[in-house]
Amino acid sequence: MKNIFVTAIIILLAAASVQAGGPWPQKKGKGYFKLSEWWVVFDQHFTDRGLLDPNITTGVFNTSIYAEYGVTDRLTTIVNAPFLSRNYMNNLVSATTNELILRGEAINTLGDIDLGVRYGLTPSGKIPLALTVMVGIPTGKTSSGTQNNLQTGDGEFNQIIQLDTGVGFSVNKISLYTSAYVGFNNRTKGYSEELRFGLEGGAGLLDNKLWLTGKLNVVESLKNGETAETITSTSLFANNAEFTSLTLEASYYVTKKIGVSASFASPLRGEIIAAAPSYSVGIFFDMSK
């Protein structure tokens, strides 16, 4: 069952990264590049009925590069690459005899890489509307350890198509924006397809040196994939996971182009995902400034 929780976390991370740019493509020759560390440690999870259940303390850490680059003023390429992914599991110890039942293990390897493009459907000056297409490449490890329950990827190619819109404005000289998206995740190898929705809002403070943002992400499984009776547990681990999560993030420009960021995300409800908050810190280079 641990396989379910770990890969559901990876899904949550992917969901956040795909909509990171909103409906605004990068200008030609401009870009946004970020090196970040993301992690979650949990000892309980949401079951397939949305109830809480305990599990062995488990952690996932991803060191990633996220990049956007404007090929034209309306076409942006996107890369999200967790080049170092660590998945560990603590010792399982008997609560009555204090005997070691299962020794803890860990793996350190490459995670699943996402590649995509964002295209601005509306010209400059109009309400922005952008189409994003992402492809998940199964470069992570699907099973490792003595129990084959450590992994950094799901082993399947998936394709996400997403539509974003939004608007930027100001109130009392404070820069503000809001955006929304809707998407569909087509999955292979017996995994259920997913519908995705999200809202985001942000405010620029201190002459836009400090940006505070809030994001609400929703993933709903169509539950049309294979079941535990028809495929093995190592192929099932991410099937039918769904959640609603809230993310709060602060980004501060140390110079005109270079900044640091920190975020906190927590599931408000879920099925087959970890019941714990995740955290992220990073440093970014913004060529658009």
Q: State residue 209's pLDDT score.
A: 97
Q: Is the pLDDT of residue 242 over 60?
A: yes
pLDDT of 229 over the 60 cut: no
The residue to which tokens 């009392």 are assigned: 172
Provide the pLDDT for residue 17: 45
Residue 7 pLDDT greater than 60, yes or no: no
Reported confidence tier of residue 238, pLDDT bands at 50, 70, 90: low
CATH class of 2-286: mainly beta
Give residue 236's pLDDT band: very low, low, confident or very high (50, 70, 90). Answer: very low
Residue with more model confidence, 57 or 20? 57
Q: What is the DSSP string of the chain?
A: -HHHHHHHHHHHHHHHHHTTTTT-PPPTT-EEEEEEEEEEEEEEEE-TTS-EEEEEEEEEEEEEEEEEEESSSSEEEEEEEEEEEEEEEPPEE-TTT--EEE--EEEEE---EEEEEEEESS-TTSPPEEEEEEEEE--S-S-BTTTT-B-S--S--EEEEEEEEEEEEEETTEEEEEEEEEEEEEE-TTPPPEEEEEEEEEEEETTTTEEEEEEEEEEEE---S--TTTS-HHHHTTTT-EEEEEEEEEEEESSSSEEEEEEEEEEEEEESEE-S-EEEEEEEEETT-
pTM across the whole model: 0.89
CA–CA dist 19, 135 (Å, integer) = 13
17-56 pLDDT, tens digit per residue, is 444 568 999 999 999 999 999 999 999 988 888 999 998 8
What Å distances lie between residue 48 and 8, 75, 163, 212, 270, CA to CA? 12, 39, 29, 34, 8
Decide if pLDDT at 16 tops 70. Answer: no
pLDDT tens-digit readout, 97-143:
878 778 889 999 999 999 999 999 998 778 999 999 999 999 998 88
Q: Which of the two residues, 224 and 281, has the higher pLDDT score?
A: 281
pLDDT of residue 99: 83
Q: How confident is the model at residue 2 (pLDDT cuts 50, 70, 90)?
A: very low
pLDDT of residue 227: 59
Q: What's the confidence (pLDDT) of residue 276?
A: 93
Q: Is the pLDDT at 267 greater than 90, yes or no?
A: yes
The pLDDT value given to residue 21: 65
- For residue range 191-212, list pLDDT tens digits in order: 899 999 999 999 999 999 999 9
Chain mean pLDDT for the chain: 88
Domain parsing of the chain, residue ranges: 2-286
pLDDT higher than 90, residue 283: yes
Query: Higher pLDDT residue, 97 or 214?
Result: 214
